[in-house]
Amino acid sequence: MNNNISRRDSVSLFSNDREALFKRRPNRFLIIAGDGNEEIPCHCPNPGRLIEFLFPGTRLILEKRKNNQGKTAWTAAGLYYENRTVPLFSARANQAAEKLILPKIIPGLREIKHEYTIGHSRFDFICTDDAGNKHIIEVKACSLVEFGTAMFPDAPSSRAAKHLEELACLAKESYICHILFVIVHGTPDVFIPNLHTDPVFAAALSNCSGKVQVHAALLETETNGQAHLADSEIPVDLSHGKLAGENRGNYLILMEIPEQFETDVGALGSILFHPGWYVYAGSARKNLSQRINRHLRKIRKQKHWHMDYITGFAKMIKGFPIFSYHNLECGLAGELKHISSGMIPGFGSSDCTCESHLAYFKTNPMQNRDFIEMLMRYRHRDALKK
């Protein structure tokens, strides 16, 4: 951490007008909060997946929306996670960037202009330094911090990739171009682009690092919404860009099976599947995204993998890529065995010594902290070991 930063300088990221517990998130922009039977519809200002945060009972910080703006009276402005305050207003990261971070990363900063448009593109800031150089800065808020590693984005972002491409082009002209990741909580040792959820962006960021300056800075936020700069120079690691472009690694497939069914599964014969949730651990040393997409497709495929026999019975299927240097599927399957309600014998494990690679859960694993922690640990730590 940079201990030379004054905590007297701060910006307000939200107003803590009341607190309530998280209940559910019907869509990206709506959160239902409340206590007991109370239900409070709240605008969600962060479009990310936020799967590490949003468990029933998580305490939220709510901000009253002024002048009856929007369809809801409240905004879910922040939450508490691992004894820290996490602001959810991703757009307000620009306020912290302008006041707290830009003066640290641009020596001789003299002038700042907001929302600068050049051609068909608009960027967060254009700045001028004492030497007359023009700096274009795009700011991204980063809330995904696990196992000492901060990552952006936590969901695919074509907009982020577009901004990066535009910055790389402008860097060929007379501009000094920057992308700044504002990490809003935690104690990260390093920042890396999230190759698991957006390998295109991760590979592009690595490829353009010589043209675009990449920065990561860390904020600390109080319960009243006041944010301070904790570190203006979190190390950035772009060394996994090649892995992102190679499209290989491991994956988890999550399925919801609403009704009991029995079906033949290749050489395993007839298997009875009970209603509930199933998680399959697999790997692909090439064409990882294509393998996942095959599993997600319920129809029009010849039965080759064990999964092909059951996906047609699923109400919902989701895929979780884990780009990795090594094959980790047996380790994933072994951990699933310990946190699930049981395994389907022999499923997906004909070429290894595992009992099974398909786990059964009675309740949704996305609301199981052990499952989310396992996914985060593999993505943020284990998969990135070379």
Residues 277/246, Cβ–Cβ less than 8 Å: no
In angstroms, rounded to a whole number, what is the distance separating the alpha carbons of residues 279 and 342? 11
Nearest to 342 by CA among 329, 370, 361, 364: 361
In angstroms, rounded to a whole number, what is the distance separating the alpha carbons of residues 207 and 240? 11
* DSSP reduced 3-state for 165: helix
In angstroms, rounded to a whole number, what is the distance separating the alpha carbons of residues 153 and 205? 12
The model's pTM? 0.93
Give the number of C-alpha atoms closer than 13 A to the C-alpha of residue 151, restricted to the C-beta side: 30
User: pLDDT tens, position by position, for the chain (386 residues)?
Assistant: 443 444 568 999 999 999 999 999 999 999 999 999 999 999 999 989 999 999 999 999 999 998 766 789 999 999 999 999 999 999 999 999 999 999 999 999 999 999 888 877 889 999 999 999 999 999 999 999 999 999 999 998 888 888 899 999 999 998 999 999 999 999 999 999 999 999 999 999 999 988 999 999 999 999 999 999 999 999 999 999 999 999 999 999 999 999 999 999 999 999 999 999 999 999 999 999 999 999 998 876 788 899 999 999 999 999 999 999 999 999 999 999 999 999 999 999 999 999 999 999 999 999 999 999 999 999 999 999 99
Residue spans of beta strands (DSSP E) within 226-382? 226-231, 249-257, 261-264, 270-273, 276-284, 316-323, 342-343, 358-361
Beta bridge partners of 78: 61, 87
Nearest to 86 by CA among 28, 149, 141: 141
